[in-house]
């Protein structure tokens, strides 16, 4: 086992694809795990750095600039430099696990490069809309936002990732139409094997 104190797991993908359900389940099952959610780094609504979509009179929350990625990067780096305190007795060989969850996680090269394993959950447009329309966001989606912004931004992001051959060698794409249980079992089995 390497001397690295942390095993870093990145979980990304389409909106409503099941990222957070997977993250939370892994966090429950993997002792010594800590989670950082990219969603916690959205800029406040009144931040001037936001991109406004004039035709919808709405902010674009689907781009990396809608988040304070400097803060997220700094929090992640600070955590993995820290010495894990609990379970550091000699009999526990368990590595500390950092689970990163975010729909644009791999847009940040520093964070992407830190990940020992990367997963990206894909969804069809129909399923994505089915799941998204039932969710309540703050601020709420305005009519046309999914069609004009959410889905095109997701396709653009996925396309960028898939064009990067080196990156594609380091990531596992998962079909979000699979059941949550199947997705969890697939990832959990892989992580356990890597940590053994």
Active-site residue list: 39
Cβ(127)–Cβ(177) below 8 Å: yes
Q: Where are the alpha helices (DSSP H) in the chain?
A: 19-29, 69-81, 109-114, 125-132, 145, 151-163, 165-168, 180-195
Alpha carbon separation from 161 to 51, 106, 127, 181, 183 (Å, rounded): 22, 8, 21, 26, 21
* Rg, Å, the chain Cα set: 17
**In the chain, how many H helices and how many E strands?**
8, 7
- What does the alpha-carbon distance between residue 1 and residue 166 come to, in Å, rounded to a whole number? 24
Q: How many residues does the chain have?
A: 196
| C-alpha dihedral sign at 79, 82, 88, 92 | positive
- What does the alpha-carbon distance between residue 13 and residue 173 come to, in Å, rounded to a whole number? 9
């Amino acid at each position: 086992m390497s001397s690295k104190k942390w095993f870093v797991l990145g979980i990304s993908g389409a909106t409503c694809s099941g990222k957070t359900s997977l993250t939370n389940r892994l966090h429950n099952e993997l002792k010594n795990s800590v989670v950082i959610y990219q969603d916690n780094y959205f800029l406040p609504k009144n931040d001037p750095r936001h991109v406004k979509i004039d035709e919808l009179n709405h902010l674009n929350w689907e781009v990396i600039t809608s988040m304070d990625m400097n803060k997220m990067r700094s929090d992640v780096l600070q955590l993995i430099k820290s010495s894990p305190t609990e379970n550091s007795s000699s009999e526990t060989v368990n590595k500390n696990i950092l689970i990163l969850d975010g729909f644009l996680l791999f847009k940040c090269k520093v964070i992407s490069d830190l990940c020992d394993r990367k997963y990206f959950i894909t969804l069809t447009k129909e399923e994505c809309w089915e799941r998204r329309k039932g969710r309540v966001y703050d601020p709420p989606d305005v009519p046309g936002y999914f069609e004009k912004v959410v889905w095109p931004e997701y396709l653009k992001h996925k396309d960028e990732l898939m064009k990067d051959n080196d990156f594609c060698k380091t990531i596992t794409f998962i079909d979000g139409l699979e059941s949550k249980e199947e997705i969890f079992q697939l990832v959990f089995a892989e992580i356990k094997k890597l940590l053994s």
